[in-house]
Chains A and B, each alone.
Chain A
Amino acid sequence: MTDSMTTTAVDAAVDAHDDDHHPSDLFYLKIAAILALFTGLEVSTYFIEDSVSEAFLFISLSVLMVVKFVMVAAYFMHLKYDTPWFRYLFIAGLVLAMGVYTIFFFAFDLFGLG
């Protein structure tokens, strides 16, 4: 039989280990503030649309979108601190989706009669 003391020790280690990785509430607030800032930047593009080039808009909006995505996933969803397995699973789905639908879009956009 496993010694229950050993188990308790293991679980104490688990908890301690876990706590190292849990950011404080203040940290989350900071992340949220940055995300809000980025969202504000995104929204501001609406108001300056006519004075900047389309390319600039596409690129800046895309960058902001990706950064926000990564931040929510890494910090709010704790991906950065968790076991890599979760990252693999999620990124697998993400990369697969991006790859497949990019091909799909090319098959339509560039050459399709549809």
Chain B
Amino acid sequence: MAITEDRPLALEAGTITKVAERPLGALTRPQSDVGWASWFTTVDHKKIGIMYGVGSLFFFLFGGVEALMIRIQLAAPNGQFLSESLYNQVFTMHGVTMVFLVIMPMAAAFANYLLPLQVGARDVAFPRLNAFSFWCWLAGAIFLNTSWFLGGAPDGGWFAYAPNTSVTFAPGNGMDFYAIGLQIVGIASLVSAINLIVTVLNMRAPGMSLLKMPVLTWMLLVTQFLLLFAVPVITIALFLLTFDRSFGANFFNVSEGGSPLLWQHLFWIFGHPEVYILILPAFGIISEVIPTFSRKPIFGYPFMVGSGIAIGFMGWGVWAHHMFASGLGEISVAAFSLSTMFIAVPTGVKILNWLATMWGGRLRFTTPMLFACGVIAMFTIGGLSGVTHAVAPSDTQQTDTYYIVAHFHYVIFGGSLLGMFSGFYFWWPKVFGHKLSEKWGKINFWLMLIGFNMTFGPMHVLGLQGMARRHHSYAKEDGFGFWNGIVSAGAFVIALGTLAFLINVWLSARNAKRNPVEVGPDPWDARSLEWSTASPTPVHNFDVEPIVEFQDDWWHRKWGKNDEGKVVRKAYPEDIAQDGSATDVHLPSPSYWPLVLSLSLPMIGYSIIFTFWLLIPAGALFLAGFLGWALEPADDPEAAHGHDDHGHDNDHDADATADAEVEGASNV
């Protein structure tokens, strides 16, 4: 039964469309894009990005509390704060939370908000799928954390080595929550990766060739490819674990011939690309921040892009450096040791390029710039300890000690997290229409930097002194007490720094409300397309699809060369930015179904853990969500201002005015 069209095809300019009646009952698309309820049905990449950001910050506090609990336990010898069982749960969940529920969704926040803007699009290729990714991630995150109340959190470490995580050695539900929770979160990542890859390839503004895209877009693109190919591997590993634990399989049953190394290989084939998934977005962020605050273009753009791609490729060939002490055999160890040393090269290229960008530039040490410089310094330290790990004989001493803990925190916290904070401070005005306070930003930065080094610096020493990882406590005779005390104190300094950030967020919002200051489209005099719109970004992004001529195109619209070859200003942002006043832009309609579908997934998880009877309502919800999504109308008919311009419909009306975006977007 087709939907007939009996309205005039073209509305006259200035016609006010009225709110649609609801011809299809429950299957009509929701219409509102304001109000709190609209957040549940939004398919707007910007709102989804904000939700990822809020979610990741929330879990950052969770994971931070877990870290503080660890540090209280380890502050002095023979700690009694946490029982051994609880300690295992806390450090496992700290790791799982920070990797999957903080850094990855934080990167997703930036990717979702910025990537369409940076390529000049109005949304991602598949807006509903994008919403689904977010709700799926949130469902998985909450599912994972309900384990605390439902039999105990996962306690096998974030890397979950089998058979330690088999039912024999990890009875209880914790590891089931781990396996299923990460599957759900993995679906979110995989789906999002496909979405963003198609967006970058297919929805760039006219003139934006791949080599004119901002470095952040490139790094995010490489990240999505890494996700695309790495997530399936951990998917299988987690299925094997679930099959063993819940369905009697023998994959990690050593007495039947099962191999613990199978788990390790599968996990780390995912796990190593995963760490590049964690760091590349941060590298991309600071590649935007540093040129802006050095007033110079990124040094060696082709090398920045190329090294990112190289890291993406080479990251697949180094995974067993996480397994040097597991009995791999000499040739394997030597081969992976060599490949691991090589992978330092492209990262080194990036560090040099960032420094070269700053060299000779007019530096402004705003908060985002401070964080970006922090990344360069801290990641270099983490990278150097990483090089010592590449050397297999020394790694054999370091592995399972706090030296490793130091390394990966320097690269993840010092690299990824500081990079994300740089991004928060940089893009806050674009997203929210006001800057974060510079004063509190600096307090935030210095507390975090000092606290961070207090916490993780001494861990190098502790590791070399022989303090083992994942141990619930240590004896007085070990002599670890002094540095552990410093480490624990440092953790609380980090907490203060985090508090400073939260205060900053609150204070800045309050001040902006009381004394609203028009922050303008481009408060930092930046370089990429997202700064060419009003702040906060208008809901339709661009009034007119930008035509791109250069890399750093927005910069070239503001600055030009005079006859003597000197750089002079051509225009001011306020005069040439798109002010968001277009009213005839057709955007994808909101939808309930991504949320509904994603709710079925944790239900399926609970049914595997507790009772298969739950599969009935879970399956029903899954089907309802699926069908509702598939059958709902492509867009609200009333919202089609004059023509049905849906790429999916193959309508041959290529009216590419303000609606140009919709032609590129699909109705998934």
Contact = CB atoms under 8 A, between A and B. Distances in A.
A7 B654 contact: yes
5 contacts: A7-B654, A85-B201, A96-B229, A108-B261, A114-B262
B332 A11 contact: no
Interface in A23-81: none
A110 B261 contact: no
A100 B271 CA distance: 13
B261 A114 contact: yes
Interface of B: 201, 225, 228-229, 233, 259-262, 265, 269, 316-317, 320, 327-332, 652-657
Nearest to A93: B229
A1 interface: yes
A100 B316 contact: yes
A16 interface: no
Contacts of B259: 108, 112, 114
Contacts of A107: 261, 265, 320, 328-329, 332
Given A93-B229, A96-B316, A111-B332, A104 B265 contact: yes
Interface in A7-24: 7-8, 10-11
Nearest to A101: B269
Contacts of A114: 259-262, 327
B290 to A, nearest CB: 31
B656 A112 contact: no
Instruction: Please classify how large the interface on chain A is, using the bins under 10, 10 to 19, 20 to 34, 35 or more.
Output: 20 to 34
A11 B331 CA distance: 58
A1 B657 contact: yes
B214 to A, nearest CB: 22
Given A1-B655, A85-B201, A111 B316 contact: no
Given A1-B655, A1-B657, A112 B201 contact: no
Contact of B654 (A10, A96, A106): A10
Interface of A: 1-2, 4, 7-8, 10-11, 85, 92-93, 96-97, 99-100, 103-104, 106-108, 110-114
A108 B262 CA distance: 9
Contact of A4 (B260, B262, B331, B653): B653
A50 to B, nearest CB: 28
Given A96-B229, A99-B316, A114-B259, A11 B652 contact: yes
A100 B316 CA distance: 7
Contact of A100 (B269, B652, B657): B269
A106 B262 CA distance: 12
Contact of A2 (B260, B316, B655): B655
Given A111-B330, A114-B327, 13 more contacts: A2-B656, A85-B201, A92-B229, A96-B316, A100-B233, A100-B316, A104-B265, A104-B269, A107-B265, A108-B262, A108-B265, A110-B329, A111-B331
Contacts of B317: 99, 103
B167 to A, nearest CB: 21
Contacts of B229: 92-93, 96-97
A34 B88 CA distance: 59
Contacts of A4: 653
Contacts of B656: 2
A111 B654 contact: no
Contacts of B654: 2, 7, 10
Contacts of B655: 1-2
B652 A112 contact: no
A93 B269 CA distance: 14
A110 B652 CA distance: 59
B667 to A, nearest CB: 19
Contacts of B328: 107, 111-112
Nearest to B258: A114
A112 B327 contact: yes
A97 B270 CA distance: 12
Contacts of B225: 92
A99 B269 CA distance: 11
A111 B652 contact: no
A86 to B, nearest CB: 11
Contact of A111 (B233, B262, B329): B329
A33 to B, nearest CB: 34
Nearest to A12: B652
Contacts of A92: 225, 229
8 closest A-B pairs by beta carbon, nearest first, are A111-B329, A114-B259, A113-B327, A7-B654, A107-B332, A114-B261, A11-B652, A104-B265
A10 B654 CA distance: 10
Contacts of B316: 96, 99-100
Contacts of B657: 1
A7 B653 contact: yes
Nearest to A114: B259
Contacts of A103: 317
Contacts of B320: 107
Nearest to B257: A114
Among B259, B265, B317, B331, which residue has the most Cβ atoms of chain A within 10 A? B265
B483 to A, nearest CB: 35
B369 to A, nearest CB: 36
B661 to A, nearest CB: 15
Contacts of B261: 107-108, 112-114
Contacts of A113: 261, 327, 329
B222 to A, nearest CB: 12
B269 A110 contact: no
A57 to B, nearest CB: 26
Contacts of B331: 110-111
A7 B259 CA distance: 61
Contacts of B327: 112-114
Contacts of A7: 652-654
B653 A112 contact: no
Nearest to A85: B201
Among A85, A97, A107, which residue has the most Cβ atoms of chain B within 10 A? A107
Nearest to A113: B327
Nearest to A11: B652
A73 to B, nearest CB: 18
